[in-house]
Chains A and B, each alone.
Chain A
Amino acid sequence: MQSRLDRLFAVLLALAVLAGAPLPASAETEVLVWHAYRAAEKAAIEKVAAAYSASHPGVKVTTLAVPYDAFADKISAAVPRGKGPDVFIYAQDRLGGWIEAGNTVEPVDFFLDKPTRDRFIPSTLDAVTYKGTVYGLPVNYKVITLIYNKKLVTTPPRTSTELVATAKKLTDKAAGRFGLAYWYSDYYYHAALQNAFGGRVFEKGTAKPVLNAPENVKGLDLLVKWIDEGILPAEPSTALITALFNQGKAAMIFTGPWFLGEIAPEIDYGLAQLPTLAEAGNAPMRPWMTVEGAYIAAPSKNKDVAYDFVKYLTDRDGARIMALEGRQSPSNKAIYDDPKVAADPVLKAFRTQVEVAVPMPNLAEMTMVWSPATIMMASVAKRSTPPKAAADKAQAEVLKSLSELRRK
């Protein structure tokens, strides 16, 4: 494609010379951006790209929507061979894998000056930092928060004690009604509890897994306590939570922005911060956040321009479009002072919640954690294994698969 364009350009150039026409001052630099957006988000990023192209003569930013399911694999396959985009936008969880594989993501640490560094909510920048080097600029974050049915709950609970009390009042198992519902058997959702106790998957700053750290076990213990209170539905799943909430059978749920589009129009819902946990010394629940970063492809030929665009995308103008039109929660903290953004209850709720959120690990090793962690969560949620034993088993399994992977 590129070469055909080049050839076409060369022919045009030759014709221009023959006709005695003045040569164009400089060739246009094209920056190709891959994203996995649809609908409003897609329109928003296209608008940002157009705005950037308009204000930067000689640069043309083109966007391409790639289906989400295929996105990561396409990046892994195309970019190292120099075929892909100049910039791509994706969640931070695959970052470690791409960096370990090499020649995929260009580090941007060198470009980052202090004003750019300071423009972001610090934890979102941490999310795109891999082993001490920044590899992209955070565009937006997604975080779990408390969503409640306003008809059933008037004031959302602020502590776990209030949460359990409210939930108990609203639970009627025989009628299939639950005070609280969330996908608690999923490690991602559960992490909010674990992190409140100071739990973690990897020892800080290393890739050493500690799934059975005492704090993690405390998180599981609390989950067991909630299950035993009888306020949660059995065998939770996203489909189940959606159905319950939309039928008005779940009063409160823990979920993220992706859920908002699923809520039935007749449900009047509100957003609130996740409660603090009395069991963890009144520490707030700290959900994991996923951050979409804009990364520069390592083989790109226009890295400076690409970085300039990424900087624009995450600056006030870009972030404003992404927030108001793309309905994203930008990582740029200045944007929340914008009157229109500040007036938006949804964006505001997530902005408050992100203050206590923890970036989900972006280590390549994280992929080996999911399966054992899922088994751990399932066996704890079904009360078939005590939390400590389940955590020990998961830890042993992660260590085993890591040692097999790292064996020489």
Chain B
Amino acid sequence: MTAPSHRLRFLAGLVLAGGLAAWLAHGFASDARRRVAADGEVRRAVVALRAVTSLVESSGGEGDGARRAVVAWQAGAPGVVQLRVARGMQLEASSAAGDAGGQAAPRRLAREEKPLYDRAQRIATAVRTNREEQGGRKDEVEVERLPSGGLSLAAPLDLDGAPVGIVELETAPLPPAPSTPWWPFLLAVLVPAAAFGLVMLLAGQRRAVLAVAATFLLAASLFVLSRGTVARIGEERRQAAASVAERVREQASLVRSASVSLGLPASAADPAGWDVDPFRRPRGEVASDGSVVETRREAAVEEEVRHLGRSLLAAALLALALLLLIGLGAFHRLGRTIKVNRQAYVYIAPALLGMMVLVFYPFTYGITLSFTDSNIYNTQKPLADLWVGLRNYGDILGDFAFAKKVEGGFVFNYLNFYWTLLFNVFWTVTNVTIGVTSGLLLALVLNTRALALRPVYRVLLILPWAMPNYITALIWKGMFHQQFGIINQLFQMVGLQAVNWFDHPFTSFLAALTTNAWLSFPFMMVVSLGALQSIPADLYEAARVDGASRWQAFRAITLPSLRPALVPAVILSVVWTFNMFNIIYLVTAGDPGGSTEILITQAYKFAFERYRYGYAAAYSVVIFGILLVYGVFQNRYSKATEA
């Protein structure tokens, strides 16, 4: 095989990685441009809507006054297709083409106008909800894109501070979204490629020099590209702010002149309050006189640009990684192994595909979810809008307040992660200890050769394992019932007090522990029994000849021979017990007060009782992390997988 050319490899890497980065960057840039343009259009339309709403409100919000206000306003507002004012089942005013003659407002809403009525109800509810929660959760100003390309907007009509209806406005089709030219992005690939051509001539096949040069050229080119893009988008955002301010000025003078011609008192509405977000909170970018508030605008530009900058940085890092992977030959090697072991890859392909769909996709989704604030209120929104970064992890891991000192002792906060973790570890250690000890003991007994009816015992002892564990759990829960459970009845028979098992964390824990011990010993027994039977009898014979006691033989022969079988079994059983959802959920249900919750049941409760999906996902990722660390650690120190 000929030696691969480092030069060509780096050149190919540079072109491919550069191309990828340029393609991604173009995508991000044109998204940002479209968003800035669309936001600007929406804001301008919202200003118009709010202006006419204030005019309708000052005209009394109903009757001929409102209709005259609509007509007067629309005469001076080009680009508006129709305007409707609805209150309850009544259409108060409308400039829609069909609403003339017999259909003219005021009239009752027709069947096909149900969406208008529903919209009014929805907006009124949104206003009340936001007010009650003193925040912004539901849109008070609704914006929808129409199939025609225009916008349909609706805002509440307030009288005396209460929403009584809505004003709905439909705009003419918006101008097409600006397209982003390709040439700067192409240049960002071609220029470093050409420069690298020069380097190639000078540096020959020196790999380190080539790597540094290629990386530097690509990084520099992408840096320049993103600086330019960011500056451009920032400039467009400033222009959008200026055009919104212009719209505010236009509307202010329109409302003024319409008020005069209609004989209305000068509107008390402040034009600065027309440029609002969906929750009707002024954005503050435009002042009352229609001028731009520079500090607020720059903050908004900053926000817009930071978002874009981050995406571009990610694209650049991806490209650099790709460049090095190709340049240093990793891809080449991968290609070669695929070629050499073609058959093997074909065989695992179906399994790999299955894993992708059934394991990796949900797994990635869960991890992504853990970085969001997804909950019952916002399942409709895309995850990107709910991004909160590491907040969930901070909330889980950063809360150390698991105990509070009060008079005469401590009060534990059972919802705290560290309490649950502590309990979870304690639960696992005790369970596995009991399981291994009892399983091993029973295996030793069953291994006695002279034992009569040995197969019968064996079957009986495996039965607990063969039963579905939720049935076992429910039966045990019944047996622990305070009044009617058999355990308390036995207690009372021998003169003891009945115990209220699920009333105290410790007794509740004992109940769960007993149930799980019942479930876990058969597995350990079966594993140990198999291993015991494979120990050659002559070892014991030799020991006996050497005069070893039974205990010595057990320590020196039995235990070491059991090790290869027992250690993986213990590892498995630790993982199972750590996540033993059924027993905890069904037997103690966390009683009392969530004190016997383990991590996995706690995560379940966060997801399906408190409806905080993102938080629960983060919880699950933490559990995964703990088990991963445990698994790696355990493997390394026991060398179990090699045995």
Interface residues of A (CB under 8 A from B): 80, 97, 100-103, 107, 109-111, 131-133, 176, 206-208, 233-235, 239-240, 243, 304, 364, 367-368, 370-371, 375, 378-379, 382, 384, 401, 404-408
B377 to chain A, nearest CB (A): 5
Q: Which residues of A contact B136 (CB under 8 A)?
A: 408
B312 on interface, CB distance cutoff 8 Å: no
A-B contact number at CB 8 A = 97
User: Contact check: which of A206, A243, A408 meets B132 at CB < 8 Å?
Assistant: A206
What separation, in Å, do the CA atoms of A234 and B117 have in the docked complex?
53
A100–B420 CA distance with the chains assembled, in angstroms: 32
CB pair B610 A110 closer than 8 Å:
no
Q: How far is the CA of A379 from the CA of B500 in the complex (A)?
A: 12
| Nearest A-chain residue to B594, judged by Cβ | A375
The contact sample of 19 A-B pairs, CB cut-off 8 A, is A80-B380, A100-B377, A101-B379, A103-B380, A110-B114, A207-B129, A207-B133, A235-B482, A240-B484, A304-B111, A364-B377, A368-B611, A371-B605, A371-B610, A375-B593, A378-B592, A406-B137, A407-B373, A408-B135
- Contacting residue for A368 out of B484, B500, B591, B610, CB 8 A: B610
Given A109-B117, A133-B121, A375-B594, A235–B380 Cβ distance below 8 Å? no
Contact of A370 among B376, B377, B478, B609 (CB under 8 A): B609
Chain B, 94-135, CB within 8 A of any chain A CB: 109, 111, 114, 117-118, 121-122, 124-125, 128-129, 132-133, 135
Complex contact B481–A235 (CB within 8 A)? yes
A132 touches B483 (CB 8 A): no
- Quick one: given A101-B380, A364-B377, A406-B135, are A132 and B500 in contact (CB under 8 Å)? no
Cα distance A375–B590 when bound, in Å?
10
On whether A382 and B610 interact (CB within 8 A), knowing A109-B117, A206-B132, the answer reads: no
Extra 4 A-B pairs, beta carbons < 8 Å, given A101-B376, A404-B615: A102-B380, A133-B122, A368-B609, A382-B500
Contacts of B482 in A (CB 8 A): 234-235
A277–B341 Cα distance when bound, in Å, is 82
Tell me the complex Cα distance, A206–B610, Å.
19
With a cutoff of 8 Å between Cβ atoms, the chain B residues found around residue A370 in the complex are 609
Closest to A107 in B: B118
A235 and B483: CB pair below 8 A? Answer: yes
Determine the interface band of chain B, counting residues with CB < 8 A from chain A. 35 or more
Does B612 touch A at the CB level, under 8 Å?
yes
Contact status of A107 and B121, CB under 8 A, knowing A382-B503, A406-B135: yes
Task: Assess the B377–A405 pair: CB atoms within 8 A.
Answer: yes
Which among B376, B503, B593 is the interface contact of A100 at CB below 8 angstroms? B376
Report the bound CA distance from A133 to B375 in whole Å: 23
Docked complex Cα distance between A109 and B114 (Å):
9
Task: Let me know if B500 and A235 touch, CB within 8 A.
Answer: yes
Q: Is the contact region of chain B dominated by helix, strand, or loop, or is it mixed?
A: loop
Distance between Cα atoms of A401 and B610 in the complex (Å): 7
| B residues 342-377 in Cβ contact with A at 8 Å | 373, 375-377
- Chain A's closest residue to B610 (CB) is A401
Closest residue of chain B to A371 (Cβ to Cβ) is: B609
Q: When the two chains form the complex, which single residue of B118, B129, B377 contacts A110, counting CB atoms closer than 8 Å? A: B118
Residue of A nearest to B380 (CB): A102
Given contacts A235-B481, A379-B593, contact A405 B610 (CB under 8 A): yes
C-alpha gap A109/B472 in the complex (Å): 49
Question: What are the residues of chain B within 8 A of A368 when measuring CB–CB?
Answer: 609-611
State whether A406 touches B593 (Cβ < 8 A).
Answer: no
Residue of A nearest to B379 (CB): A101
A240 to B118, CA, bound (A): 47
Pairwise interchain contact B376-A132, C-beta atoms closer than 8 A? no
Q: Which of A101, A235, A304, A405 touches B612 (beta carbons < 8 Å)?
A: A405
Contacts of B478 in A (CB 8 A): 239
Q: Please give, as numbers and ranges, the residues of chain A lying within 8 Å of B376 by CB-CB distance.
A: 97, 100-101, 364, 367, 405
Tell me which residues across on chain A come within 8 A of B609, comparing CB atoms: 367-368, 370-371
Q: Are B117 and A384 in contact (CB under 8 A)?
A: no
- Measured between C-beta atoms, what is the minimum distance from A90 to chain B in Å? 17
Q: Residues of A contacting B610 with CB < 8 Å?
A: 367-368, 371, 401, 404-405
Chain B window 459-482, contacts with chain A (Cβ cutoff 8 Å), 1 for yes, 0 for no: 000000000000000000010011
Residues 131-159 of chain B, each 1 if its beta carbon lies under 8 Å from chain A, else 0: 01101110000000000000000000000
> Which 9 A-B residue pairs are closest in the complex by CB-CB distance?
A235-B482, A131-B125, A133-B121, A110-B117, A110-B114, A102-B380, A371-B609, A401-B610, A234-B483
- Minimum CB–CB distance for B303 against chain A, Å: 15
Q: What residues of chain A lie closer than 8 Å to B594, measured between beta carbons? A: 375
CB distance from B219 to the nearest CB of A (A): 37
Q: Are the C-beta atoms of B611 and A367 separated by less than 8 Å?
A: yes
User: Which of B121, B125, B129, B375 contacts A405, CB < 8 Å?
Assistant: B375
A208 to B129, CA, bound (A): 10
Which residues of chain B (483-512) have a CB below 8 Å from chain A? 483-484, 500, 503
Give B171-207 interface residues, CB cut-off 8 Å to A.
none
Given contacts A368-B611, A406-B133, contact A379 B481 (CB under 8 A): no
CA distance A5 to B481 in the complex (A): 55
- State in angstroms the CA–CA spacing of A408 and B373 once bound together: 9
Cα(A371)–Cα(B612), bound, Å = 14
CA gap between A401 and B373 in the complex, in Å? 13
Smallest CB gap from B500: residue in A: A382
Q: How far is the CB of B619 from chain A (nearest CB, A)?
A: 13
A110 contact set on B, CB distance < 8 A = 89, 109, 114, 117-118
Interchain CA distance A182-B137 in the complex, whole Å: 40
Measured CB to CB, the closest approach of chain A to B144, in angstroms, equals: 13
Q: Which residues of A contact B592 (CB under 8 A)?
A: 375, 378-379, 384
Bound-complex Cα distance A382 to B503 (A): 8
Q: Which residues of B contact A378 (CB under 8 A)?
A: 591-593
Q: B121 contacts A132, CB within 8 Å?
A: yes
Residues from chain A with Cβ under 8 Å of B129 in the complex = 131, 207
Complex partner residue of B125 from A132, A367, A371, CB under 8 angstroms: A132
Chain B residues, Cβ within 8 Å of A407: 373
Chain A residues contacting B114 (CB-CB under 8 Å) are 110-111
How many Å from the CB of B416 to the closest CB on chain A?
13
A212 CB to closest chain B CB (Å) equals 17
Q: Write the nearest CB–CB distance from A61 to chain B, whole angstroms.
A: 21
Interfacial chain B residues near A371, Cβ < 8 Å: 605, 609-610
Q: State A405–B281 Cα separation when bound (angstroms).
A: 21
Q: Which residues of B contact A401 (CB under 8 A)?
A: 610, 612
Complex CA gap A103/B503 in Å reads: 44
Chain A residues with Cβ under 8 A from B500's Cβ?
234-235, 382
- Bound-state Cα–Cα, A80 to B376, Å: 14
Residues of chain A within 8 A (CB-CB) of B109 are 110
What separation, in Å, do the CA atoms of A97 and B376 have in the docked complex? 7
Chain B residue nearest in CB terms to A100: B377
Interface pair A233/B483, CB less than 8 Å apart: yes
Instruction: For B126, give the chain A residue with the smallest CB separation.
Output: A131
Most buried by B among A100, A367, A378: A100
Nearest-neighbour CB distance to chain A for B127, whole angstroms, equals: 11
CB distance from B399 to the nearest CB of A (A): 12
Q: How far is the CA of A384 from the CA of B121 in the complex (A)?
A: 46
What is the CB-to-nearest-CB distance from B107 to chain A, in angstroms, rounded to a whole number? 15
A156 to B377 CA separation, bound complex (whole angstroms): 46
- The chain B residue sitting closest to A133, CB to CB, is B121
Which residues of chain B come closer than 8 Å to A382, judged between CB atoms?
500, 503
Q: When A131-B128, A206-B132 are in contact, do A384 and B377 touch as well, CB less than 8 Å?
A: no
A208–B131 alpha-carbon span in the complex (Å): 12
Smallest CB gap from A384: residue in B: B503
Residues of B within 8 A of A406 (CB): 133, 135, 137, 377
Name the distance in Å between A381's Cβ and chain B's nearest Cβ: 10
Neighbouring A residues of B111 by C-beta, 8 Å: 304
Closest B residue, CB atoms, query A97: B376
A111–B121 Cα distance when bound, in Å, is 13
* Residue among A131, A206, A208, A408 with most chain B CB within 10 A: A131
CB-nearest residue of chain A to B373: A407
Task: Kindly provide the distance from the CB of B202 to the nearest chain A CB, expressed in whole angstroms.
Answer: 56
Bitwise, B243-262 to A at CB < 8 A (1) or not (0) is 00000000000000000000
